[in-house]
Amino acid sequence: MIDVLAIVGPTASGKTALSLELAERLGGEIINGDSMQVYREMSIGTAKIEPGEMRGIPHHLLDIKNPDESFSVAEYQKLVREKIEEIKSRGKLPIIVGGSGMYVQAVLFDYRFAEEQADEGLRAALRAELAEHGPLHMHAQLLELDPKADIHPNNTRRVLRAIEIIKSGHGTSERNLALSPMYNEVIIGLDMPRDILYDRINQRVDIMIEKGLLQEVQMLRGRGIRDAQSIRAIGYKEMYDYLDGKLDWEQAVDLLKQNSRKYAKRQFTYFRNKLPIFWIDALENPGKNIRKTEAFMQEKDRQRRIGIIEQQNPDKRL
């Protein structure tokens, strides 16, 4: 039996719609695989599914954090692995759905984290260096320490954390990853031509604005939420810059669309390089994609069972 099904893909690729169809057909429960949808009061900018759209299917790990709280991959890993066992105990199929590739990878594979103990003195020194020299300087320093580090220069929090870990003597990267699966998993990826995807992303941004993205951000800003992990997400940082007078409205919207398209490109790069994915055409007939997914799950489970039998009985073949 397949233990876990994951549905991944870039933003606006149709993951939610496919997940609902598969959950109904396979008796599944859905686990959020998006690092920003864990936050309460941040629904429009994260494209969070609305309760009325859930079709009665249980959805887990949505709205579990306040906007001013931090959230790590390690915490996500622990929560989701617990949730997987809970869902399986009910005889249901856990279905992880989202675009945060590292989060999904950390759950499904033997993804181990460096010690979380903070060296406050070193941390303060790194922050001071960041303030004086800027993010690109810190990223260059990381690459000198660990040329294989795969962290985007704009992700300053992770860049600093990686430097801290290395300088503290805990290793040469932010994490130690062994590509050993933790489950009998299947990962489905949604693909489509880039021009079509980018058009869909632009349309999604327009819809978010119509639904009240600016008002959602005004609410967070009015509560004094400023230097928080959550508001560094795409959609929120651009609106903050608009409200702070750093961008005019047209600039903010254009930048939001541009950053969303760039993020989708990075998502594709991560998925293709880091995860063993069975790709399907997101524009294909939904029923056909469901049949493809089911067939792939059955084939992978068959191969796994044959492999187990061959290991136990080397002379026996099915």
Q: Check the annotation: does 13 bind a ligand.
A: yes
Is 15 annotated for ligand binding? Answer: yes
Q: Is 6 helix (H, G, I), strand (E, B) or coil?
A: strand
- Amino acid at position 75, single letter: E
- Name the β-bridge partners of 177: 111
- On whether 10 is known to bind a ligand per the annotation, the reply is yes
Q: What is the CA radius of gyration of the chain?
A: 21
Q: Does the annotation list 23 as a binding residue?
A: no
DSSP annotation string for 37-70: TTBTT--TTTTPPPGGGSTT--EESSS-B-TTS-
Q: Is 35 annotated as a binding residue?
A: no
Is 171 annotated as belonging to a binding site?
Answer: no
DSSP state of 230: G
46 is in an annotated binding site: no
Is residue 212 a known part of a binding site?
Answer: no
Are β-strands 28-32 and 59-60 bridged in parallel, bridged antiparallel, or unpaired?
parallel
3-state secondary structure of 274: helix
Alpha-carbon distance of 1 to 185, in angstroms, equals: 9
Alpha helix locations (H) across 168-318?
194-211, 213-222, 236-243, 249-274, 286-312
* Pairing mode of beta strands 109-113, 175-181: antiparallel
The full DSSP string for 133-199 is H-HHHHHHHHHHH-TT----TT-HHHHHHHHHHHHTTS-SSSEEEEEEESSSEEEEEEE--HHHHHH
Annotated binding site for substrate: 11-16
Annotated binding site for ATP: 9-16
Annotated binding site: 9-16
